[in-house]
Amino acid sequence: MTNGFAAEREVIVLDNAGVGSSGGETPSTVAAMTKDCVEFCRALDLRNFDVVGFSLGGMIAQQLAFEYPDMIRRMILLGTGPRGGEGMTFTELSLDELGDPLALLKNSFFTASKGSKAAGQAYLERLKLRVTDRDAPVSMKTAGAQLEAIREWGSIPSTDRYAMLPRIRQRTLIVHGSKDIVVMPINAFLLAQHLPDAQLVMYPDASHGAQSQHAEVFLQHARLFLDG
Amino acid sequence: MTNGFAAEREVIVLDNAGVGSSGGETPSTVAAMTKDCVEFCRALDLRNFDVVGFSLGGMIAQQLAFEYPDMIRRMILLGTGPRGGEGMTFTELSLDELGDPLALLKNSFFTASKGSKAAGQAYLERLKLRVTDRDAPVSMKTAGAQLEAIREWGSIPSTDRYAMLPRIRQRTLIVHGSKDIVVMPINAFLLAQHLPDAQLVMYPDASHGAQSQHAEVFLQHARLFLDG
């Protein structure tokens, strides 16, 4: 997927603080992660760009567009949900699942159908293609901070539940799997209802890895969106 | 939009019984309209085709795919909803609104935004392009039968609300406006959740005429879907 984007435009893949090859400590709120991301962008003198955010990354993308609107041209939100979305405190999720990351990927990114399983296998093979400069695995400490950040983002405010979204004016493409078991699909619909300029695409028989399962058509949809 | 499809493939536009240039009487159920449509297809010896259905036409398309699965290759559902969908008995709609069809089109197909209004004006101009073989306006009698059919389709069954949808196996593209005031957008989401092989595309700042407002990108999405 990343290579598909990179075939046509410059792609910068960010390991945020404490993640993968980046040093530092991972903060435990989306707002603080967004600040780290902005510092990174400023260090590279990136002033106006398109942002693609997946899951927690999509939360950071929303916060970025909200707090730093001048930096963002267009936004692609993959498998993510609004602040205070539906079922986004992930009470059933535990760090123990990280003990078997391959099983976690297979079970949460793909469905039980034959077609989705085959797409999952192809995805896992693609993940092995890079042999140099591979990211270090996420540490338990970082994963804990990320889970805390997601839960804070997902907690439902007592008033003005989706008040942030009408204030995000950037043209947005929302992409989701219709059977996402991590971030419930209704969250993509809620984003599309409340963001003023968002197009929604939802793929069939796909879970949290929808954009990887449907990578080819997703890249075509993303191209139409970014170039349109 | 129709010309856009016709540039690449054969398009047959059906005036069903009692509608436009077709004689006969318009029946008052979607099932009976579907039978008329099937007779038309058999008369032309159409054995396997793609169907595009808008609004009431999308209900007929679903019934067609459900009852005559061998006839349908792929299906595009525009601004429609499932049997027993949300808010689809249209209790507030009355035939009086047909007195000013231009106002009805403007108000129900487009939103109040500047961009949508301009798209609506362009749409109305396009409607005038055809000068020969124009359809006769829909009669009050036909409109009454259509309204009755839609209301019957929209009535919520006491059990198995969406039982029909998992049995429609055709690959489907669902297209809807995120601000559709005629068929509530949640209905497109419900179709995507219950049809086993459906992709959903939802366009921003668009009402019941979403596919006409976003005609160019819609045609590109439809092409990707039909050729993919």
A70-88: per-residue pLDDT in tens?
999 999 999 999 999 999 9
Tens-place pLDDT, residues B123-158: 999 999 999 989 888 899 999 999 999 999 999 999
Strands A72-78 and A198-203: unpaired
The answer to whether B82 and B165 are in contact (CB under 8 A) is: yes
Write down the pLDDT at residue B155: 96
Q: What is the C-alpha separation between A164 and B50, in angstroms, rounded?
A: 41
Write down the pLDDT at residue B162: 97
- Element containing residue B200 per DSSP (H, E): strand B198-203
Tens-place pLDDT, residues B72-98: 999 999 999 999 999 999 887 777 877
Length of chain B, in residues = 228
**In terms of Cα–Cα distance, which of A12, A148, A139, A22 is closest to A71?**
A12
A221 near B CB under 8 A:
yes
Strands A198-203 and A171-177: parallel
B69 near A CB under 8 A:
no
Residues of B in contact with A196 (CB under 8 A): 204-205
Write down the pLDDT at residue A99: 80
Please report the DSSP string for A135-166 in residue order.
PPPPPHHHHHHHHHHHHHHHSPPSS-TTTTGG
Q: What percentage of chain A has pLDDT greater than the value 90?
A: 90
Q: What is the C-alpha separation between B210 and B207, in angstroms, rounded?
A: 6
pLDDT band at A97 (very low <50, low <70, confident <90, very high): confident
Q: What is the C-alpha separation between A197 and B25, in angstroms, rounded?
A: 43
Question: Which of A189, A196, A202 is opposite residue B199, by nearest beta carbon?
Answer: A202
Tens-place pLDDT, residues A150-160: 999 999 999 99
Test A198 with B204 for CB contact under 8 angstroms. Answer: yes
ipTM, interface predicted TM-score of the complex:
0.95
What is the pTM (predicted TM-score) of this model?
A: 0.97
- In sequence order, what are the residues at sequence separation of 6 or more whose Cβ sits closer than 8 angstroms to the Cβ of residue A111? A117, A177, A179, A205, A206, A207
Residue A117 reports pLDDT greater than 80: yes
The answer to whether B121 and B113 are in contact (CB under 8 A) is: no
Test B198 with A185 for CB contact under 8 angstroms. Answer: no
Test B196 with A202 for CB contact under 8 angstroms. Answer: no
The nearest CA of chain B is from the CA of A22 a distance in Å of: 37
What is the number of other CB atoms lying within 10 angstroms of the CB of residue A45? 6
Residue A198 reports pLDDT greater than 90: yes
Residue B122 reports pLDDT greater than 80: yes
* Mean pLDDT taken over chain A: 95
Q: For residue B64, what are its two tokens?
A: 């067609």
- In sequence order, what are the residues at sequence separation of 6 or more whose Cβ sits closer than 8 angstroms to the Cβ of residue B85? B154, B183, B184, B187, B190
The nearest CA of chain A is from the CA of B196 a distance in Å of: 7
Q: Residues A50, A53, A57, A58: is their CA dihedral positive or negative? A: positive
- Using left for φ > 0, alpha for ψ between -120 and 50, and beta otherwise, residue B148 falls in alpha
- In sequence order, what are the residues at sequence separation of 6 or more whose Cβ sits closer than 8 angstroms to the Cβ of residue A3? none
Q: For residue B29, what are its two tokens?
A: 């159920």
- Element containing residue A73 per DSSP (H, E): strand A72-78
Tens-place pLDDT, residues B179-224: 999 999 999 999 999 999 999 999 999 999 999 999 999 999 999 9
Question: B140-144 long-range contacts, Cβ below 8 Å, gap at least 24?
Answer: B140/B95, B140/B98, B141/B18, B141/B26, B142/B18, B142/B19, B142/B26, B143/B95, B143/B98, B144/B95
Write down the pLDDT at residue A96: 80
Test B221 with A217 for CB contact under 8 angstroms. Answer: no
Strands B198-203 and A198-203: antiparallel
CB contact burial A185-214 (16+ within 10 A = b; e otherwise): bbbbbbbbbbbbebbbbbbbbbbbbbbbbb
* Closest residue, chain B, to A203 (C-alpha): B199
CB contact burial B3-20 (16+ within 10 A = b; e otherwise): eebeeeeeeeebebbbbe
* Mean pLDDT taken over chain B: 95
Rounded to 10°, the helix B30-43/B140-154 angle is: 110
Tens-place pLDDT, residues A164-184: 999 999 999 999 999 999 999
Test A203 with B202 for CB contact under 8 angstroms. Answer: no
The answer to whether B29 and B152 are in contact (CB under 8 A) is: yes
